[in-house]
Amino acid sequence: MRKKVNVLLYNTGAVAVGLLISACLLLFMDVNPAEVCAQTLSKIVTDKYNLGEVLVKATPLIFTSLAFAFTYKANLFNIGAQGQFLMGSIVAVSLSLALQDTVPTALLLLLVLVGSFAAGAAVGGLIGAAKAKFSANEFLVSMMSTYVVTNFMDYLLRTSLQETKAEYMQTDAISAGAYLPNILPGTRVHLGFLLAVAAAVLVWVLLSKTSLGFQIRAVGRNPFSAELGGIRASRIYIIAFLISGGLAGLAGLTEINGVQHMLLRDFNASIGSYGIGIAILANGNPIGCIFASILFGFLNIMGTTMGRLPGLSIPASIIELIEGIVMICVIISYALRGYMENRSEKQRMRKAGV
Amino acid sequence: MLNLLTRAIMMSTPLLLGALAEVYAERTGMMICAIEGIFLIGAWGGFVGAYLSGSLALGLLAAVAAGIAMALVYAFVTVTLRQQQVVTGTALNILAVGVCAFFQRVLFGVPTTPLQIDTLPKLPVPLLSRIPLLGEIFFQQNILTYLAYILIPISIFVLYKTSLGLTIRSTGENPVAVDVAGINVNRVRFLTVLAAGGFGGLAGSFYTVGYLGMFTTSIIGGRGWIAFAICFLGNWSPKGAVLGTLAFGLADAISVYFRTGTTVFPTELIIALPYILTIVLTIFRSNFQVPAKLGVPYSKEN
């Protein structure tokens, strides 16, 4: 428990330091950071739509960060969440376009949910199988898989999935009958956000309260002793990657049926890598992923809002600057925490006369 | 077709520079996952240096400095503080986009016309450039491409025939032995990462100073990661990196060749082929020589 409080304390501190550094960088633009921040914040807080956007941006990030966090618990690196998300999106848009006028909304969304999970899980499962059967480097295979899926998507967007006008590399828009229902009138927040939160809770239960979760964590700690304890590590590799890929795939459902309503080139090109940063910020804790994703969603909206402030010409890419600095601060805080905990441990031992 | 091959060699230059840098770093056990960001900051540094000083040489120097600066942060966090390389790289790649875009705005405001610099001139090599066919493909390039040619034998020689190369290779395979021999493992890793950052920055500057003469934050567009992939595809050897670069370069050239007009031919398959090849080799090649301690931080205590 003390350790958990410690993590939270250090993380919050690191985020605060990161934000402070970013604010100071605003001085380069010859503006008053405090004033700009106050102005931006009041624009976000007083506008219901903007507040909603925070949750809209956070939704897919919850899924991709869960995807990374899940395999991370098994000491595996799934850095191909982007590819699994795109595969989920391809299936989501195909199913929606094919069935939207024949199947009732609830059933359609259920089918898309299963389909996009399965699509992501298929990509993830292949990576897990390569790791389990051939002890291939899962980091490398998952990374390369993203490029293969991206090119596959580009091909589909140019051929069988291309819009009827055949002008741009994008699909037709899905009809309103296939939309995820809105849950907050006056915003774009959709059911997908609740799904994401539910997924995070489920993942938490799975990892910390079930025997499968125990096996995954055991393999993550030490695959050899896990094997001695009767856990087949290769089976765990495949299962962990299946679930991780499926989680990333679900972001396809929320982005296609909840936000964009069509698939296009360079679709949400960086949520995979943000997922990694967020999972680390949350220290791999599924519940923490929810809050860290919301923080990133908030930073995202803050950057856009700042970029739109009249007469200041702050570039919108200040988002990347802030988020990058915050991430580095958090990573450094982990090192600091490790060092401090190590030191207090040593002191305790010295006192005990060991 | 001839133009296409000349272009393939030209576009392979930064990939080769980046891949060689990555090979050296990974041989010490350090994946440079920030390579995409290093490419980008190199591209930006080269552009800013050349624009402000009016000298392309100073631009290239600034690119090297920018690459080293980014590598310094990466090395500090991953080597000194022993944090996860993948995660640190992800953070730095995102940060690089922000830094470039933000300071581009700070330095130049919102210009009404896009800022332009001259690009490195083509330098035909006397005599060699007059060889039919080959001359045009290989010897009418800019100075960075020639630098890449020269670096191929040098990098092979240094890695396999010198004591420095032995130290570098051992650091990734068996850091304890290196430590016992009285060599500071983390210093080897730190300095190799810095050097790799310098070459990565130079590689990035190829896109601004050597080719386009302008800067946007999407100028690298994943090519840093391609250099990263080439290192794996080439089995962590300089020779393999050359072959890997040719594979990616050719795939790129062929897909451009087929893209003329609207064709149903899946050019995407050709672009994806080198990636698929990398996956297949990772899975099935039995003599895949991943450095034993790749990605594992070193500490004397354990």
Does B120 lie at the interface with A, CB-CB under 8 angstroms? no
If you write DSSP's letter for every residue of A304-317 in order, what string do you get? HHHHHSTTT---TT
With beta carbons under 8 A apart, name residues in chain B contacting A75.
Answer: none
CA A122/CA B32 separation, integer angstroms:
29
| Within-domain flag for A30 | no
Contacts of B99 in chain A (CB under 8 A): 321, 324
**Mean local confidence (pLDDT), B108-123:** 86
Lowest mean pLDDT among A124-138, A153-167, B95-109, B255-269: B255-269
Burial class (CB in 10 A: 0-12, 13-18, 19+), A343: exposed
Residue ranges of B 195-224 with Cβ closer than 8 A to chain A: 217, 222
What is the average pLDDT score of chain A?
Answer: 91
Answer whether residue B250 is part of any domain. no
Give the total number of structural domains in chain B: 1
Rounded mean pLDDT, B3-15: 87
Contact A313 B269 (CB under 8 A): no
Write out pLDDT tens, residues A104-129. 999 999 999 999 999 999 999 999 99
How many whole angstroms separate alpha carbon A128 and alpha carbon A182?
A: 36
Q: Which pLDDT band, with edges at 50, 70 and 90, does A70 fall under? A: very high
Which range marks the domain in which residue A140 is found? Answer: 73-277
Please identify among residues 194-223 of chain A the ones whose CB lies closer than 8 Å to any CB of chain B: none
Query: B275 near B54, Cβ under 8 Å?
Result: no
The tens digit of pLDDT for each residue in B229-260 reads 899 888 899 999 999 998 888 887 777 777 65
Of A276, A317, A321, the CB nearest to B90: A276
With respect to residue B293, please indicate whether it lies within any of the assigned structural domains: no
Q: Is residue B243 part of a domain?
A: no
In a domain, A168, yes or no: yes
Q: Confirm whether A268 is domain-assigned.
A: yes
**Contact criterion met (CB < 8 Å) for B275 and A148:** yes
Per the structure, the count of domains in chain A is 1
Indicate whether A316 belongs to any domain: no
Cβ–Cβ below 8 Å for B94 and A145: no
Task: Sort out which chain B residues have CB atoms less than 8 A from A159's CB and list them.
Answer: 264
Report the first-to-last Cα separation within chain B, whole angstroms: 57
pLDDT in tens, A292-316: 999 999 999 998 898 888 877 788 8
Q: B11-69: per-residue pLDDT in tens? A: 899 999 999 999 999 999 999 999 999 999 999 999 999 999 999 999 999 999 999 99
Contact list in A for residue B91 (CB cut-off 8 A) is 277, 324, 327-328, 331
Q: Are A80 and A143 in contact (CB under 8 A)?
A: yes
Could you tell me if residue A21 is inside a domain? Answer: no
Provide the shortest C-alpha distance from residue B159 to chain A (in Å): 24
Does A144 sit within 8 Å of B278, measured CB to CB?
yes
Q: Tell me if A52 is assigned to some domain.
A: no
Cα separation values, B29 from A154, B56, B89, B123, B181, Å: 35, 34, 15, 37, 18
Is B266 within 8 Å of chain A by CB?
yes
Inspect the interface and report whether the beta carbons of A147 and B272 lie closer than 8 Å: yes
CB distance A333 to A14 below 8 Å: yes
Residue A98 inside a domain? The answer is yes
The residues in A 287-326 lying below 8 A from B, measured between CB atoms, are 313-315, 317-325
What DSSP designation does A170 have? B
Please identify which residue in the block is written with the tokens 């401090």. Answer: A340
Q: In whole angstroms, what is the distance from residue B256 CA to residue B193 CA?
A: 34
* Cβ <8 Å between A320 and B84: no
B47 touches chain A (CB under 8 A): no
Answer yes or no: is B285 within a domain: no
B279 touches A: beta carbon within 8 Å: yes
- DSSP 8-state assignment for residue B144: H
- Chain A contact present for B258, CB below 8 A: no
Q: What is the pLDDT of residue B245?
A: 93
Asked whether residue A329 is assigned to any structural domain, the reply reads: no
B123, β-bridge pairs: B141
For an interface test with A, the pick among B225, B264, B268 (most A C-beta atoms closer than 10 Å) comes out as B268
Cβ of A144 within 8 Å of Cβ of B268? The answer is: no
Is B159 inside a domain boundary?
Answer: yes
**Continuous segment of H or E residues that includes residue B123:** strand B123-124
What are the C-alpha distances in Å from A67 to residues A104, A189, A326, B192? 30, 22, 21, 33
Question: Which of B81, B104, B106 shows the shortest C-beta gap to A332?
Answer: B81
Residues of B with Cβ-Cβ distance to A325 under 8 angstroms: 95, 98
Please write the tens of the pLDDT for every residue from A149-200: 999 999 999 888 888 888 888 999 999 889 999 998 989 999 999 999 999 9
Which residues in chain A are contacts of B101 at CB distance < 8 A? Answer: 315, 317-318, 320-321
The span from the CA of B103 to the CA of A284, in Å, is 33
Q: How far apart are CA A124 and CA A130, in angstroms?
A: 10
Asked if A61 has any chain B CB less than 8 Å from its own CB, the reply is no
Q: Which of A151, A314, A320 sits opposite B272 (nearest CB)?
A: A151
Could you tell me the pTM of the whole model?
0.90
The residue length of chain A stands at 354
For residue B262, what pLDDT is reported? 56
pLDDT of residue B1: 66
Per the CB < 8 A criterion, the answer to whether A250 and A117 are in contact is: yes
Does position B123 have pLDDT exceeding 90, yes or no? no
Range of the domain at B120: 2-224
B98 interfacial to chain A (CB closer than 8 Å) = yes
pLDDT tier for residue B113 given thresholds of 50, 70 and 90: confident
Average pLDDT over residues A128-150: 90
C-alpha to C-alpha distance for B119 and A130, rounded to whole angstroms: 45
C-alpha A152: how far from chain center: 22
Mutant choice from B112, B254, B279 vs A, greatest count of A C-beta within 10 A: B279
**Tokens 């020639």, residue located:** B146
How far away is chain A from the Cα of B140, in angstroms, using its nearest Cα? 32
Reported ipTM: 0.89
Measured between beta carbons, which residues in chain A are less than 8 angstroms from residue B106?
28-29
